[in-house]
Amino acid sequence: MIRQEIVGILRSHLMEFGYEYDFVVEIPEEQFGDFSTNIALVGAKYFKKPPKEIAKDFVEKFSGHRMFKEVTIAGPGFINFKVSNEFYRDFLTKFIQNPYSVWNFKRHGSILMEYGSANPTGPLTVGHGRQVVIGDVLGNVFKFTGWEVTKEMYLNDAGRQIRLLAKSVWARYNQLLGYDEPIPEDGYNGEYVVDIARHVIADHNDEYFKIWNDDVESVFKSYALNEISRMFDTTLEKIGANFDNVFKESSLVNDGTVKEVLTILESKGLVYEEDGALWFRASRFVNDNDKVLIKNDGSYTYFLTDIAYHYKKYKRGYNIAVDIFGSDHHGHLPRMYAAMKALDIPEDFLMFVLHQFVTLKRGDEIVKMSTRAGEFVTLDELIDEVGKDAARYFFAMVDVNTHLNFDLELAKSKTDENPVFYVQYAHARISSLFENAKAKGINFIPRENIELLENESEMRIIKQISLFDEILERVTEKLSPHYLADYLEKLASLFHKYYAENKIVDTDNMRLSNARLNLAFAVRRVLSEGLNLIGISALERM
RNA sequence: GCGGCUGUAGCUCAAUAGGAUAGAGCAUCGGACUUCUAAUCCGAGGGUUGUGGGUUCGAGUCCCGCCAGCCGCGCCA
């Protein structure tokens, strides 16, 4: 917020000088000030003057400006700003009165977030967990910053994999009834497959023993789907993922969207037949090979239904669609962009977040997760072991592009090795301050005595508070939630330090106590908003 | 072979559109609880940013080559 103001002022001064070019206002190392700009350095080639002289011209314009305590030139020509205490105190007062008056969120459009999409053929994995948390947090932040958000999960209930699962369940069903039917090749081996078979037996006894046809397949398919959906729901609830909608692949076939898309592509001459299959001319739009839409056995590829899904997303009126996948799906991107172009859907409609993989560790030991052998650690087990808060925090705390090393021992530990509690503790600490104040007969009055705040650490904290909206914007621009976690840790750290150095509740100095409680109050507000967005609990007491 | 991501302190990670002396946490070592919660705080050590070139006032960041790791390159999803 403050940064935007500085940018604005600088830009208008730049225009007065008769120039227009890009520059940055950033937060430098503390010794240099609160904010800093390279406007004079970048301007050298336009002004045709040395950066330091240009800087001087700018600095003159700032003399006597109420917002700043100091504007100086340093190094090769940086202009450094030190914001006045008065300005910070005004900011704090406004913030406490109504945070939304200082949070600079515009009204944005509508956005459809798709994530956690999985074949309903087995339990959600740890990898899905990362994806779900990234999606959930991004969705929360988008909503908070003024977007209309729909969080959606796509269920691939129409393809070959779900049929394989049905057949696998049927094989287990026969085995349970005493016939040694082998699991199909590429089938599913996990224990949950046996559980589903048990359900079928409970309801139908040996009705389908050694009988396999299309009708039987659809029976087993629906048992499998129901069971797996229930498993998904349980797990998703445990990790606190709030989907607005589950979208079934099969609905695109049933409501004719797939056909509609095929018709459009055909009418544009973008499909052709070869080897008994129907192909899409992806190579016309992107640097990739053509792709199959309909296989030679007449069934649809995942690609075709996914095109239909995205066509439908666009038709549903969203401004932007964000898809979150594991990085193993990056091969899917070019063909999707090609399809969007083919359907005349604007280029900036579809955005992807590809997150890197998760490695589970127990101390130094890597935990093997092999899906085929059915010996994976499921997301469910992970949450049971480390808890929702730790799981979410760990998934949200690193850049989506960074391979995540998830240390189970660390996530579980209740010691200060664990970064999860740091922020929560700051929140709990402040809550206890207020209890303490109350017990000592200090009656907290919002916005009173703020003029008594004057030391460096107090100003640092207010500055950090003032950066909240900008950090959230960054989360949505860069599509990575880790900026928020970093921010909250920094704020918590500043507060812990402040707490250690200053007595906040002090009956010998009631007015100062009230001033400091105001500051603590604002910190707690930001912490709880931030923790909320990440989806972990803001505790009153620890 | 081609493509995507990654390589930063012993470990896990940051570094805000190319900015100033590359920062945190953990671990290690040394301090701080008769005083608002020590799940905290203070201090110390720890680096040729994988490697070799290039671009410029300035490179962890951009370009080219090389090395290493992960992931793709299906009529799987």
Quick check: A340 and A311 in contact, CB under 8 A? no
- Identify the pLDDT of residue A189: 84
Quick check: A166 and A425 in contact, CB under 8 A? no
For A398, other C-beta atoms within 10 Å of its C-beta total 20
- Identify the pLDDT of residue A372: 47
- Identify the pLDDT of residue A414: 77
- Identify the pLDDT of residue A212: 95
Taking the CA of residue A455 and the C1' sugar atom of nucleotide B62, their distance in angstroms comes to 41
Quick check: A103 and A1 in contact, CB under 8 A? yes
Q: How is residue A57 written in tokens?
A: 């011209």
Q: What is the distance between the alpha carbons of residues A391 and A386, in angstroms, rounded to a whole number?
A: 6
Taking the CA of residue A467 and the C1' sugar atom of nucleotide B42, their distance in angstroms comes to 27
Taking the CA of residue A35 and the C1' sugar atom of nucleotide B33, their distance in angstroms comes to 37
Please indicate, yes or no, whether the overall pTM of this predicted structure exceeds 0.80: yes
Digit-by-digit pLDDT tens for chain A (542 residues) are 788 889 999 999 999 888 888 899 998 888 888 999 999 998 887 888 888 889 999 999 888 888 999 999 988 889 999 999 999 999 999 999 999 999 988 889 999 999 998 888 888 989 999 999 999 999 999 999 999 999 999 999 888 889 999 999 999 999 999 999 999 988 888 889 999 999 999 999 999 999 999 999 999 999 999 999 999 999 999 999 989 999 999 999 999 999 999 999 999 999 999 999 999 999 999 988 999 999 999 999 999 999 999 999 999 999 999 999 999 999 999 999 999 999 999 989 999 999 998 998 887 778 876 554 445 688 999 999 899 999 999 999 999 999 998 988 888 887 777 888 899 999 999 999 999 999 998 999 999 999 999 999 999 999 999 999 999 999 999 999 999 999 999 999 999 999 999 999 999 999 999 999 999 999 999 999 999 999 999 999 88
By C1' distance from the Cα of A295, the closest nucleotide is: B75
Taking the CA of residue A191 and the C1' sugar atom of nucleotide B60, their distance in angstroms comes to 47
Percentages of chain A per state (helix, strand, coil), in multiples of 5:
55, 15, 30
Taking the CA of residue A232 and the C1' sugar atom of nucleotide B42, their distance in angstroms comes to 48
By C1' distance from the Cα of A296, the closest nucleotide is: B75
Taking the CA of residue A187 and the C1' sugar atom of nucleotide B45, their distance in angstroms comes to 56
> Is residue A388 classed exposed, middle or buried when 0-12, 13-18 and 19+ CB atoms within 10 A define those classes?
middle
The 3-state DSSP class for residue A164 equals: helix
Taking the CA of residue A330 and the C1' sugar atom of nucleotide B68, their distance in angstroms comes to 22
Quick check: A101 and A308 in contact, CB under 8 A? no
ipTM passes above 0.90: yes
Quick one: which residue's CA is nearest to B22's C1'? A29
By C1' distance from the Cα of A433, the closest nucleotide is: B36
- Identify the pLDDT of residue A519: 97
* Chain B, protein-covered positions (CB within 7 A): 3-7, 12-17, 19-21, 23-27, 35-37, 39-42, 57-58, 69-77
By C1' distance from the Cα of A277, the closest nucleotide is: B75
Q: What is the distance between the alpha carbons of residues A103 and A87, in angstroms, rounded to a whole number?
A: 16
- Identify the pLDDT of residue A375: 53
By C1' distance from the Cα of A79, the closest nucleotide is: B20
By C1' distance from the Cα of A156, the closest nucleotide is: B77
Q: What is the distance between the alpha carbons of residues A46 and A323, in angstroms, rounded to a whole number?
A: 42
Taking the CA of residue A26 and the C1' sugar atom of nucleotide B23, their distance in angstroms comes to 16
Quick check: A359 and A402 in contact, CB under 8 A? no
Spell out a b/e string for A221-260, using b for 16 or more CB atoms within 10 Å of the CB, else e: bebbbebbeebbeebbebbbbebeebbbbebbbeeebbee
Quick one: which residue's CA is nearest to B20's C1'? A75
Quick one: which residue's CA is nearest to B71's C1'? A328
By C1' distance from the Cα of A303, the closest nucleotide is: B77
